[in-house]
Structure 1
Amino acid sequence: MDNLSVNEGKRKSLMEKVNQIPGIGLVMAMGSGISLATGGLTVKLVDSLSGIEIAVARSLVTCVLVFIFILFQRESFMPPSGERFPLLMRSVTGCIALIFSFSAIKLIPLGDSQSIVFSSPVFVSILGCLILKEPCGIVQIFSVFMAIGGIFLISRPSFIFPSNDVTLVSTSSNRTLGLTFALCSCLGASFTFICMRRLPKTPASVVVFWYSTFCVVAGTIVSFTNGTFTLPETLHDYGLLLLCGLTGLFGQGILTLALKIENAGPVSLARSIEIVMAFIYQVTILGESVSIYSGIGAIVLGIGVITVGLHKWYLSDPQQFNSIFCCKKKSNTTVNTFSNQT
């Protein structure tokens, strides 16, 4: 017992030191976005496997590492009795989101897929209104319209945009399928966030463990059923799969720490760098051009996500929000100075 209390004291003192670093929560959130975008890049670079097999490989790496972490922390693998069904639903929706996301990356440009999947916070706010009976106002409605407009520009339906104005990396049928996968991933991620709100007592490591385990089992079954299961062909692919698993775990881990240090609003704003990095990787490493419609659509989507983030920030800490964006402190100082002079 004494050793456990000493270890807990050391962890608390370490977190207190980390919290004292200015802007460390936002830096962690940006690091999470860069890490997850890098994971998406590895999916694109592995040619010998489909999105399902890559999702299984990433989940396997995460499962093993988190299993070791839980044993080291001496935590229970079982969630509280009242949170087992929400944990199951979180695992199911998270698995759907991951598999569809990786499958979409295989079919459409990296920037397009990541932009659509990243718009999930917008739909989370709407699902929160419909399922959790949270208040719904003009901010939620505006962000949804922006998200729909951004997705419309990225998808570029052929009945509006002529085919000669669209630069496609894959065939038209593959692009339609990839966009559908990206939308399904976005909706799956949205339901995942709703399920996470029902897991306040379950440790994050336990949630990630069971989610990863479910992805390994379900993904393997689906892969065998489709007859597409195969092993990587080269050591290079094995290395990319390991990197995919490590970047995914690292991105989720530092995002969890960022949310413990900083409010959800600023964190979601800082994480928007994931879209920027996806387009940078697409141009510099993958050598794929970016359509002007995709660029504008990503900006419109980003405005919707940023609106939701700013709204969350205002609701969680209105005093800090006003001091930064409304210059409230400066105006008070000016008034005091003027009154003293008169």
Structure 2
Amino acid sequence: MDCILETIQKGIRSLELKQPRYAPIYYILTSSLLFSINSMLSKFVSNIPSSQIVYFRAIIMCLMNTIVTSNQKIPLYGFTKDIYKKLFMRSIFGCLGTICFYSGIMQVSVSEGQVLFRTSPLWTSLMAIYYLKTEKFQKSLFVNLILCFFGIFLISQPPILLNMLGYEQIENQQETQLMGIVLIILAAIFSSTIQVLINQLAKSVNQLVILQYFSIISIGVTSIALFIIPAQQWLIPNYYETIILSLIGGTSYFSQLMMNRAYMKGNLTEISMLGQSQVIYGYFIDTLMGTNLSIFSILGTVIILASLIKVVLDKSKSSQQQKGP
């Protein structure tokens, strides 16, 4: 195992030395692809409670991260109370957000889930304005929020819109899809909270330490949920489901590492823009799986993507103005 890890580390160092400009691009595109595959895999175990998916995912991530941190001799203890508090909060929010995501992705298409989850930059901006007080509310953000909510409105395909345009309504399907949309937006809001906490922790601890605490606390939280919540009762997976659950854990871990590396080594604006490639992968996966996407979903996705790209560009412009000439 040590030999494998050493080979991977040498490959990464070689790539970043030979292609410093393109290495972060490779990382974020690979991360987006793995995240999309992860969402697709969860569709194959839709009968298993979301808490159990997160439980298995956390175990796989914890085992893999333990091997990596041991190999690199990264200390996992001995921090201040403030750091432990932030690690705990990041882990709890991360666990709740992950449960919401896997619960929601079962009820919407992969592409819809991807674009709704990618709305986290909007919620991060609102948090920076009203909670952190590090940004000011601007008209451009208000316009982006309106566009985003309109896109979500189209994806949800409300009865009033279908009636106006003469489309047939399937009540149970609409209720299920609406619940999925709400859960994934909640996951995006949790993700924006996590981003703030990670930014605060990044200066004090290694990114692998954050992943380790997240995995351990997720195991504890989901273990409790599986025994006390009737809807999340434990189901014994068969061999096929066990393989899928293991793949979900593996793709989650490598997706996280690739994304973190991309943001560490690349241009923030460029990486954020390329992160939207998840939606393209999502549409490709939906096509392979034979998912029927309505014109409303496609139009809503395009509108949300446009608003998110505008947010990224506005933030880039604002940061450049603050730095000055």
Category of TM-score, reference length = shorter chain: 0.7 to 0.9
Deviation at 1:181, TM superposition (A): 1.0
Give the direction of change, closer, same or farther, for the CA distance of 1:16–1:80 in structure 2 (3 Å limit): farther
Larger Rg: 1 or 2?
1
**TM-score, normalised via structure 2 length:** 0.87
Q: Counterpart amino acid of 2:160?
A: F
Say whether residues 1:230 and 2:230 are aligned partners: no
Secondary structure, aligned partner of 2:34:
helix
- Alpha-carbon separation, structure 1, partners of 2:170 and 2:23: 40
The aligned residue for residue 186 of structure 1 is 188
Deviation at 1:222, TM superposition (A): 1.0
Q: Counterpart amino acid of 2:197?
A: C
The aligned residue for residue 242 of structure 1 is 246
The aligned residue for residue 5 of structure 1 is none
1:228-256 C-alpha deviation (Å, 9 max, x unpaired):
33344322211111111111111110111
Q: Counterpart amino acid of 2:225?
A: V
Task: Count residues in correspondence.
Answer: 310
The aligned residue for residue 115 of structure 1 is 115
Q: Counterpart amino acid of 1:72?
A: N
- Alpha-carbon separation, structure 2, partners of 1:188 and 1:296: 26
Aligned-pair identity (%): 19
1:286-319 C-alpha deviation (Å, 9 max, x unpaired):
x21011111111111111221222234445568x
**TM-score, normalised via structure 1 length:** 0.83
1:200-239 C-alpha deviation (Å, 9 max, x unpaired):
2111001011111111111121121123333443222111
Give the direction of change, closer, same or farther, for the CA distance of 1:298–1:166 in structure 2 (3 Å limit): farther
2:13 to 12, 15, 28: 15
Say whether residues 1:141 and 2:142 are aligned partners: yes
Give the direction of change, closer, same or farther, for the CA distance of 1:222–1:118 in structure 2 (3 Å limit): same
The aligned residue for residue 293 of structure 1 is 296
Secondary structure, aligned partner of 1:198:
helix
Secondary structure, aligned partner of 1:274:
helix
Residues 49-68 of structure 1 aligned to structure 2 (within 5 Å): 49-68=48-67
Say whether residues 1:309 and 2:312 are aligned partners: yes
The aligned residue for residue 3 of structure 2 is none
- Alpha-carbon separation, structure 2, partners of 1:314 and 1:54: 40
The answer for unaligned runs of 5 or more in structure 2 is 1-5
The aligned residue for residue 206 of structure 1 is 209
Secondary structure, aligned partner of 2:204:
coil
Give the direction of change, closer, same or farther, for the CA distance of 1:14–1:113 in structure 2 (3 Å limit): closer
Q: Counterpart amino acid of 1:175?
A: Q
Instruction: Find runs of 4+ consecutive structure 1 residues off by over 4 angstroms.
Output: 10-14, 166-170, 315-318
RMSD: 2.6
Deviation at 1:14, TM superposition (A): 5.8
The aligned residue for residue 77 of structure 1 is 76
When structure 1 is superposed on structure 2, of 140-149 and 120-129 the one drifting more is 140-149
Q: Counterpart amino acid of 2:91?
A: S
- Alpha-carbon separation, structure 2, partners of 1:78 and 1:168: 53
- Alpha-carbon separation, structure 1, partners of 2:170 and 2:275: 27
Q: Counterpart amino acid of 1:145?
A: I
- Alpha-carbon separation, structure 2, partners of 1:35 and 1:86: 27
- The answer to whether the 8 A contact 1:166-1:291 is kept is no
Residues 260-299 of structure 1 aligned to structure 2 (within 5 Å): 260-285=264-289, 287-299=290-302
Say whether residues 1:252 and 2:256 are aligned partners: yes
Q: Counterpart amino acid of 1:289?
A: N
The answer for unaligned runs of 5 or more in structure 1 is 1-7, 319-342
